[in-house]
């Protein structure tokens, strides 16, 4: 059985993190400007490719599509690194100690950040033309990372509501102060009411909203990635920061859900 004092300590840490996330730095605001310029500079073929990507990723919420990961491989990975060996299904993972979840999450975050750094450097080599490859790859990595984080905390990304939660995590990463506050309230309500969950689905205006907000959030980082060769440095930096933020958001928000569920179990 989990220690209540330890659970509440971790919950306080998450609440401090949430408070810190509500501060929008000047550079984050400035970073959203250049993509308006980038739209005018981007060749038509590249814009068309991005438009097709938006339509393709929109299917993720409805069916998961090709972006759903192999949950059995992830379960085996968790079983190998957890102090609890009796793990058969994703729901079983929810019963492992929180400390195991933290350890697994930290390890996953480090792995994904390293992968994104190499990926950004590779696709940054060719400038604007390989930027068309980089955007779908980094968003695919973000989706995969959040799904893995969901499973580590005992939540099944095959469930449509979990895919909604994952998209909201992406939105939270790129939102401003008001947006972050609204998303936190939506996610809190999601856990307490089916009606609230239905409302959140209706409020979610498809992947396109998330995609363009996310693209704008990359701002000046991706703008410099348009430069061939030099784009390697900027691409590596941008992708590293993006996945680091995505993973941190997913870890904190999923950990918060699991802590509340563990606290509820202690009260029963």
Nearest C-alpha neighbor of 234 from the set 225, 243, 245, 226: 225
Q: How many residues does the chain have?
A: 268
- Positive or negative, the CA dihedral 36, 37, 41, 42 is negative
pLDDT in tens, 44-66: 655 666 666 666 666 777 777 77
- The pLDDT confidence band at residue 262, using thresholds 50, 70 and 90, is very high
pTM: 0.84
Asked if residue 241 has pLDDT above 70, the reply is: yes
% of the chain exceeding 90 in pLDDT? 31
Which of 18-22, 51-55, 207-211 reaches the highest mean pLDDT?
A: 18-22
CA-to-CA distance for 173 and 140, rounded, in angstroms?
A: 15
d(CA 171, CA 21): 13
Could you tell me if 116 and 242 are in contact, meaning their C-beta atoms sit under 8 angstroms apart?
yes
Write out pLDDT tens, residues 104-137. 999 999 999 999 998 888 877 766 667 667 777 8
The per-residue pLDDT for 206 is 47
End-to-end CA, the chain: 12
Q: Where are the beta strands (DSSP E) in the chain?
A: none
Task: Say if CB 3 and CB 255 are below 8 A apart.
Answer: no
């Amino acid at each position: 059985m989990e220690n209540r004092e330890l659970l509440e300590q971790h919950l306080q840490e998450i609440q401090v993190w949430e408070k810190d996330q509500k501060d929008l730095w000047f550079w984050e605001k400035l970073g959203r400007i250049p993509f308006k310029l980038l739209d005018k500079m981007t060749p038509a073929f590249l814009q068309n490719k991005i438009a097709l990507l938006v339509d393709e990723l929109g299917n993720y919420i409805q069916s998961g599509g090709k972006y759903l990961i192999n949950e059995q491989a992830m379960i085996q990975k968790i079983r190998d690194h957890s102090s609890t060996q009796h793990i058969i299904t994703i729901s079983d993972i929810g019963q492992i100690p929180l400390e195991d979840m933290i350890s697994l999450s930290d390890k996953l975050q480090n792995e994904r950040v390293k992968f994104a750094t190499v990926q950004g450097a590779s696709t940054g080599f060719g400038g604007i033309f390989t930027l068309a490859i980089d955007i779908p790859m980094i968003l695919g990595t973000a989706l995969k990372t959040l799904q893995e984080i969901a499973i580590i905390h005992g939540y099944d990304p095959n469930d449509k509501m979990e895919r909604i939660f994952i998209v909201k995590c992406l939105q939270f990463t790129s939102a401003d102060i008001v947006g972050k506050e609204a998303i936190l309230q939506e996610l809190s309500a999601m856990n307490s009411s089916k009606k609230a969950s239905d409302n959140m689905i209706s409020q979610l205006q498809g992947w396109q909203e998330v995609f363009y907000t996310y693209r704008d959030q990359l701002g000046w980082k991706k703008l410099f990635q348009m430069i061939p060769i030099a784009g390697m440095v900027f691409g590596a930096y941008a992708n590293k920061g993006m996945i680091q933020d995505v993973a941190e958001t997913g870890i904190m928000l999923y950990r918060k859900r699991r802590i509340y569920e563990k606290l509820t179990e202690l009260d029963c």
